[in-house]
């Protein structure tokens, strides 16, 4: 249990110290923000910091720090280290820079930022990559909650019925002004997510469960390698490219750059704390990774595990909170995924989103594609989401590093985690069942070489004498 509390303390201290260092490096100032200079009553709307924080937390979290952390706990308490240090040095930096750079570029989406700093080819790649990823997220987080709702309601209300209801909600949440629906509902569910985590942590400690200490051996019941599989599996609990698509949503609603650390870095640290709690709960409640693996199989996935843990630790009230979490949280991720996809496409094709007619032109096709994909086996979609998610994080970090260098700021706070995630992403796709299925003897060296090449290209292109910003960059500031 000591390891758990040490990691929890490191997360908090990491926000206070390293978060402050990242903030000083970026140098936020008093310039007007897009929310005040481009207010349109739809996407650019000033909101209060507490509301923005809770919306950002729910946007980036959903079920990520719960499901990913529980799956990551199959490797044992060594996952605590990745959640802790991944959050501080990779995830928090990624989310902060994605949000702040977006704010400096009129709240533009991550694909456009990548294009400005990494070139037109990468812009095209990221546009396609982002839209595909966001539609996959929206689809997965429509189908899962629909199935759960069908289990809890009379037979007449089957999964197809609830799928229609969820997609109808997505339509509204994607279309209407951000403060009218998301701004009112999200803070409530954000509080539920935090309360659920605190309750589970308290229950584990008070009822005397033993949280194992960190061990550096692989405890996965199937012997699955820690590298790179654990680093892909945990995802949102440490770093996630999906967050880079979400931070610009709140970058369009903030009234001061100086609130960025509290909103972007702070929400990621909060998510890391939630992930740490659920990883600890998984191995403690089921007394090891073997028991956790058996429970995941017996209960039909992490959703069943969440329900059983909450019901056992917190009683009927806990069961209600758990169901709110496993149903509302994924829906909240799904609706902002489609909303982000709308904004990526509108930035791509320069479509004015102030008029409802033009919002409909983008929203309806997106949701139609999502409805069609919902008929595909979700496990297939999810496998490809996991890799594409971390690959997007890698690209976003390289773009952030380029931004820092072109603004004559030392880029290593972004370049180092970008190099690490390059190795993770490449090694995984070479080894994974949905990838090339190569052995570790080939995949490990190839991943290291790929990361070294990425770093070398960055050094060659950007680490010469600090270049002044060209006109294409300057006009976007």
pLDDT at 453: 98
Q: What is the pLDDT of residues 204-236, one digit of tens each?
A: 999 999 999 998 889 999 999 999 999 999 988
Stronger pLDDT, 402 or 356, i.e. the higher one: 402
pLDDT at 470: 47
Per cent of the chain over pLDDT 90 is: 64
Tell me which CATH homologous superfamily contains domain 2-474. Amino acid/polyamine transporter I (1.20.1740.10)
Mean residue pLDDT across the chain: 90
Q: What is the pLDDT of residues 90-120, one digit of tens each?
A: 999 999 999 999 999 999 999 999 999 999 9
pLDDT of 132 above 80: yes
Cβ atoms of 396 and 95 within 8 Å: the answer is: no
Report the predicted TM-score, pTM, of the whole model to 2 decimal places.
0.92
Least trusted range by pLDDT, from 21-30, 100-109, 228-237, 366-375: 366-375
């Amino acid at each position: 249990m000591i390891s758990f509390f040490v990691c929890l303390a490191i997360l908090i201290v990491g926000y206070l110290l390293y978060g402050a260092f990242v903030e000083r490096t970026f140098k936020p100032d008093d310039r007007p923000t897009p929310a005040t200079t481009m207010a349109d009553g739809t996407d650019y709307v000033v909101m209060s910091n507490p509301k923005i924080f809770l919306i950002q937390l729910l946007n980036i979290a959903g079920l990520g720090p719960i499901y990913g952390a529980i799956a990551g706990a199959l490797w044992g308490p060594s996952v605590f280290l990745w959640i802790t240090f991944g959050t501080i040095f990779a995830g928090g930096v990624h989310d902060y820079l994605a949000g702040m750079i977006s704010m400096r570029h009129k709240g533009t989406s991550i694909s456009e930022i990548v294009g400005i700093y990494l070139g037109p080819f990468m812009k095209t790649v990221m546009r396609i990559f982002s839209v595909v990823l966001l539609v996959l997220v929206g689809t997965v987080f429509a189908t899962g909650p629909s199935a759960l709702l069908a289990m809890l309601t009379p037979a007449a209300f089957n999964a197809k019925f609830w799928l229609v209801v969820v997609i109808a909600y997505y339509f509204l949440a994607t279309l209407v002004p951000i403060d009218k629906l998301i701004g009112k509902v999200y803070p409530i569910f954000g509080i539920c997510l935090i309360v659920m985590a605190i309750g589970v942590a308290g229950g584990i400690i008070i009822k005397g469960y033993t949280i194992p200490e960190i061990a550096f051996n692989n405890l996965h019941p199937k012997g699955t390698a820690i590298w790179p599989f654990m680093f892909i599996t945990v995802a949102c609990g440490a770093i996630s490219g999906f967050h880079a698509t979400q931070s610009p949503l709140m970058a369009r609603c903030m009234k001061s750059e100086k609130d960025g650390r509290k909103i972007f870095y702070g929400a990621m640290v909060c998510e890391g704390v939630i992930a740490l709690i659920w990883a600890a709960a998984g191995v403690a409640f089921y007394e090891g990774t073997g028991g956790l693996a058996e429970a995941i199989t017996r209960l039909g996935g992490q959703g069943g595990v969440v329900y059983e843990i909450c019901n056992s630790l917190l009683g009927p009230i806990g069961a209600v909170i758990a169901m709110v979490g496993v149903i509302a949280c994924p829906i909240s991720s799904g609706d902002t995924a489609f909303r982000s996809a709308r904004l990526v496409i509108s930035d791509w094709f320069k479509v004015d989103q102030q008029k409802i007619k033009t919002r409909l032109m983008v929203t309806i096709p997106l949701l139609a594609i999502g409805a069609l994909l919902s008929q595909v086996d979700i496990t297939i979609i999810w496998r490809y989401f996991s890799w594409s998610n971390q690959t997007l994080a890698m690209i976003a970090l390289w773009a952030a590093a380029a931004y820092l260098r072109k603004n004559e700021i030392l880029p290593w706070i972004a370049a180092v985690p970008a190099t690490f995630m390059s190795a993770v992403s490449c090694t995984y796709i070479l080894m994974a069942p949905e990838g090339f299925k190569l052995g570790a003897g080939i995949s490990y060296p190839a991943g290291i070489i790929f990361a070294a090449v990425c770093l070398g290209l960055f050094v060659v292109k950007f680490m010469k004498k600090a270049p002044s910003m060209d006109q294409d960059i300057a006009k976007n500031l």
